[in-house]
Chain A
Amino acid sequence: MTTMQRLLQLPANAVNMVKSVQGGSQGQEEALSPVLTPDSGPQNWYNAVQPEELRHLRSGGTGGGGEGSEDRPGLEEGLTSLQSQPLRHDDLKEMLDSNKDSLKLEAMKRIVAMIARGKNASDLFPAVVKNVACKNIEVKKLVYVYLVRYAEEQQDLALLSISTFQRGLKDPNQLIRASALRVLSSIRVTIIVPIMMLAIKEAASDMSPYVRKTAAHAIPKLHSLDPDQKDQLIEVIEKLLADKTTLVAGSVVMAFEEVCPDRIDLIHKNYRKLCNLLIDVEEWGQVVIINMLTRYARTQFLNPNINESLLEENSEKAFYASDDEEEEDKKDEVAPLAKRKPYVMDPDHRLLLRNTKPLLQSRNAAVVMAVAQLYFHLAPKAEVGIIAKALVRLMRSHSEVQYVVLQNVATMSIKRRGMFEPYLKSFYIRSTDPTQIKILKLEVLTNLANETNISTILREFQTYIKSMDKDFVAASIQAIGRCATNIGEVRDTCLNGLVQLLSNRDELVVAESVVVIKKLLQMQPEQHSDIIKHMAKLIDNIQVPMARASILWLIGEYCEHVPKIAPDVLRNMAKTFTNEEDIVKLQIINLAAKLYLTNSKQTKLLTQYVLNLAKYDQNYDIRDRARFIRQLIVPTDKSGALSKYAKKLFLALKPAPVLESTFKDRDHFQLGSLSHLLNAKAGGYQELPDWPESAPDPSVRNVEIPDWSKCTSRKDRKEKKAEKPFYSDSDGESGPTESADSESDSGSGSESASASDESGSGSESGEETESEEEEEDEEEEKKKKRKKHLDKTKAKKPVEESTESEQSSGSEERKRGRKAVKNQKSASESESESESSESGDESEDESEEESESDTDIRKKKTPVSKQPPKQSKKESKKETQEMSLLDLDDFEPAPASAPVTPVNFMSSSLVSDLEGLSLTDTILAPTTITPSGSIKMYELLHRITGEGLAVEYCFSRQPFSPDPNMVAVQIQFTNNTNSETKNLHIEEPRLQCGMRIREFAEIDVLSAGESVTVVMGIDFCDSTQAANFQLCTHTRKFFASIQPPVGELMTPVFLTENDFKKEQGKLMGMNEISEKLTLGEKCVNEHVIVERVTATANLSRVPCGSDKECSTPPPPPAPVYRFAGKTVSSGCLVLVTVSTKEGGRAQLTVNCEKMLIGTMLVKDIMQALSQ
Chain B
Amino acid sequence: MIHSLFLINNAGDLFLEKHWKSVISRSVCDYFFEAREKAVEPDNVPPVIRTPHHYLINIYREKIFFVSVIQTEVPPLFVIEFLHRVAETFQDYFGECSETTIKDNVVIVYELLEEMLDNGFPLATESNILKELIRPPTILRSMVNTITGSSNVGETLPTGQLSTIPWRRAGVKYTNNEAYFDVVEEIDAILDKSGTTVFAEIQGVIEACVKLSGMPDLSLSFMNPRLLDDVSFHPCVRYKRWESERVISFIPPDGNFQLMSYHISAQNLVAIPVYVKQNISFFETGSSGRMDITVGPKQTMGKTVECLVVTVHMPKVVLSANLNATQGTYNYDPVTKILVWDIGKLNPQKLPNLKGSLSLQSGAPKPEENPSLNIDLKIQQLAISGLKVNRLDMYGEKYKPFKGVKYVTKAGKFQVRT
Cβ–Cβ contact A988 & B18, under 8 A:
no
Would you call A268 an interface residue if the criterion is a C-beta within 8 Å of the partner chain's C-beta atoms? no
Given A186-B119, A401-B81, A468-B369, CB of A675 within 8 Å of CB of B103: no
Contact call B241/A145, Cβ cutoff below 8 A? no
B290 within 8 A of A: no
Asked whether B315 is an interface residue with its Cβ less than 8 Å from the other chain, the reply is: yes
Q: Are A398 and B80 in contact (CB under 8 A)?
A: yes
Cβ of A747 within 8 Å of any chain B Cβ, yes or no, is: no
Contact status B232-A404, CB under 8 Å: no
Residue on A nearest B80 in the bound complex, by CB: A400
Contact B240 A731, beta carbon cutoff 8 Å: yes
B243 nearest CB neighbor, chain A only? A358
> Please, how many angstroms separate the alpha-carbon atoms of A684 and B1 in the complex?
11
User: Given B73, B119, B122, B198, which contacts A425 in the complex, CB threshold below 8 Å?
Assistant: B198
Q: Which residues of chain B have C-beta atoms less than 8 A from A467's C-beta?
A: 369
What sequence of 0s and 1s flags, for each residue 453-479 of chain A, a beta carbon within 8 Å of any chain B beta carbon? 000000010010011100000000000
Interface assignment of A362: CB less than 8 Å from any CB of chain B: yes
B413 at the interface (CB under 8 A from A): yes
**Minimum distance in angstroms from B208 CB to a CB of chain A:** 13
- Distance of B199 from chain A, by nearest CB (Å): 4
Q: Does A142 contact B (CB under 8 A)?
A: yes
**Interchain CA distance A149-B201 in the complex, whole Å:** 49
Who on chain B is nearest to A422 by CB? B267
Query: When A398-B80, A678-B50 are in contact, do A361 and B75 touch as well, CB less than 8 Å?
Result: no
The interface residues of chain A lying within 8 Å CB-to-CB of B188 are 396
A138 x B143 contact (CB < 8 A): no
Q: In the complex, A620→B159 CA distance in Å? A: 74
For chain A, the count of residues having a C-beta within 8 Å of the partner chain is 122
CB distance from A324 to the nearest CB of B (A): 39
Stretch at the interface among A53-61, A101-109, A635-643, A1001-1009: A101-109
A208 proximity list for chain B (CB < 8 A):
162
Most buried by A among B14, B70, B74, B244: B74
Asked whether B399 is an interface residue with its Cβ less than 8 Å from the other chain, the reply is: no
**Given known contacts A116-B109, A173-B157, A363-B234, A428 and B199 CB-to-CB distance under 8 angstroms:** yes
Q: Flag if A434 contacts B41 (CB, 8 Å).
A: yes
How far, in Å, is A697 (CB) from chain B's closest CB?
30
Task: List chain B residues, Cβ under 8 A from A605.
Answer: none
Q: Does B44 contact A (CB under 8 A)?
A: yes
A363-B233, A425-B199 known; A9+B104 contact, CB < 8 A: yes
Most buried by A among B48, B78, B251, B368: B78
Q: B368's contact among A18, A105, A115, A506, by CB below 8 Å, is which?
A: A506
Nearest A residue to B262, CB-CB: A393
Of A216-224, A946-954, A1119-1127, the one with at least 4 CB within 8 A of chain B: A216-224
The 8 Å CB contact of A673, one of B73, B199, B313, is B73
Binds B, one of A304-312, A365-373, A621-629, A801-809: A365-373
**Chain B stretch 51-75: residues in CB contact (< 8 A) with chain A:** 55, 58-61, 70-75
Q: Is A871 an interface residue (CB 8 A)?
A: no
Q: Is B372 an interface residue (CB 8 A)?
A: yes
- Bound-state CA distance A400–B85 (Å) is 13
Contacts of A401 in B (CB 8 A): 77, 80-81, 84
| Chain B: minimal CB distance from A432 (Å) | 7
A675 pairs with B73, CB closer than 8 A? yes
Q: Do the beta carbons of B368 and A9 come within 8 Å of each other?
A: no
Cβ 8 A contact of A145, one of B114, B125, B267: B114
B77's partner among A103, A366, A422, A675 (CB-CB below 8 A) is A366
Residue contact A251 to B75, C-beta cutoff 8 Å? no
Name the CB-closest residue of B to A291: B75
Whole-angstrom distance between the alpha carbons of A116 and B109 in the complex? 9
Interface residues of B in 282-317 (CB under 8 A from A): 313, 315-316
Do A210 and B161 touch (CB < 8 A)?
Answer: yes
Q: A210-B162, A398-B84, A436-B46 are in contact. Are A363 and B235 (CB under 8 A)?
A: yes
Residues of B within 8 A of A9 (CB): 103-104
Please state if A426 and B201 are interface contacts (CB–CB under 8 Å): yes
B277 on the interface (CB 8 Å rule)?
A: no
Q: Which residues of B contact A390 (CB under 8 A)?
A: 230, 232
Contacts of A428 in B (CB 8 A): 190, 198-199
- A224 and B1 CA atoms in complex are apart in Å by 12
Closest to A18 in B: B146
B339 within 8 A of A: no
Interface: A112 (CB within 8 A)? yes
Given A116-B17, A358-B239, A426-B266, answer yes or no on A137-B155 (Cβ-Cβ < 8 Å): yes
- Which residues of chain B from 118 to 171 have a CB within 8 Å of any chain A CB? 118-119, 121-123, 125, 142-143, 146-155, 157-158, 161-162, 164-166
Is there a chain B Cβ closer than 8 Å to A364's Cβ?
yes
Which listed residue (B22, B166, B192, B415) contacts A188, Cβ 8 A?
A: B22
* A399 within 8 A of partner (CB): yes
Q: Residue-by-residue, is B1-36 near A (CB-CB < 8 Å gives 1, otherwise 0)?
A: 100000000000011111101110010000000000
1/0 per residue A1-34: CB within 8 Å of B? 1000000011101100110000000000000000
Task: For B190, give its contact among A399, A430, A682, A724 (CB under 8 Å).
Answer: A430
**Residue contact A431 to B415, C-beta cutoff 8 Å:** yes
> Are A431's CB and B372's CB within 8 A?
yes
Q: What B residues does A400 contact at CB under 8 A?
A: 47, 58-60, 80, 84
- From DSSP, what is the main secondary structure of chain A's interface residues? helix
Scan residues 102-158 of chain A and give those whose CB is less than 8 A from a CB of chain B. Answer: 102-103, 105-106, 109, 112-113, 115-118, 136-139, 141-142, 144-145, 149, 152
**A815 CA to B236 CA, complexed, in Å:** 46
Distance, CA A217 to CA B199, complexed state (A): 47
Across the interface, which residues of A come within 8 angstroms of B239, CB to CB? 279, 358, 361, 727
Q: List, in ascending order, chain B residues with CB within 8 A of A138's CB.
A: 151-153
Q: Given the interface contacts A9-B103, A435-B44, does A175 sit within 8 Å of B80 by beta carbon?
A: no
A168 interface residue (CB < 8 Å to B): no
Give min CB distance, B139 to chain A, whole Å: 9
- Least CB distance, B254 to chain A, in whole angstroms: 16
Whether the pair B232, A361 counts as a contact (CB closer than 8 A) is yes
Given A152-B22, A173-B157, A279-B239, also A365-B81 (CB < 8 A) = yes
Question: Which residue of A116, A137, A287, A358 contacts B16 across the interface (Cβ within 8 Å)?
Answer: A116
Q: Which A residues are in CB contact (< 8 Å) with B119?
A: 185-186, 217-218, 220-221
> Residues of B contacting A102 with CB < 8 Å?
148-150
Taking Cβ atoms with an 8 Å cutoff, the residues of A that contact B are 1, 9-11, 13-14, 17-18, 100-103, 105-106, 109, 112-113, 115-118, 136-139, 141-142, 144-145, 149, 152, 173-176, 182, 185-186, 188, 208-210, 214, 217-218, 220-221, 224, 246-247, 251, 254, 279-280, 282-284, 287, 291, 358, 361-366, 368-370, 389-390, 392-393, 396, 398-401, 403-405, 422-423, 425-426, 428, 430-432, 434-436, 460, 463, 466-468, 504-506, 672-675, 677-678, 680, 682-686, 722-727, 729-731, 988
Closest 10 CB pairs of A and B: A102-B149, A684-B72, A138-B151, A434-B43, A138-B153, A685-B73, A466-B369, A400-B47, A730-B240, A284-B122
Residues in chain B within 8 A of chain A (CB atoms): 1, 14-19, 21-23, 26, 41, 43-44, 46-48, 50, 55, 58-61, 70-78, 80-82, 84, 103-104, 106-107, 109-111, 114, 118-119, 121-123, 125, 142-143, 146-155, 157-158, 161-162, 164-166, 188, 190, 192, 198-199, 201, 203, 229-235, 238-241, 243-244, 251, 258, 261, 263, 265-267, 313, 315-316, 365, 367-369, 371-372, 374, 413, 415, 417
Q: List 30 A-B contacts (CB under 8 A).
A: A14-B146, A103-B149, A115-B110, A116-B110, A139-B151, A141-B153, A173-B157, A210-B162, A254-B1, A284-B82, A361-B231, A361-B232, A370-B75, A393-B232, A399-B43, A400-B84, A404-B80, A432-B313, A432-B415, A466-B368, A467-B369, A468-B371, A505-B365, A674-B73, A674-B76, A683-B71, A684-B73, A685-B72, A723-B164, A730-B241
* 12 more CB-based (< 8 A) A-B contacts, given A282-B166, A674-B48, A731-B240: A13-B146, A112-B106, A116-B18, A145-B111, A284-B82, A287-B78, A399-B60, A400-B58, A404-B47, A466-B368, A672-B75, A674-B75
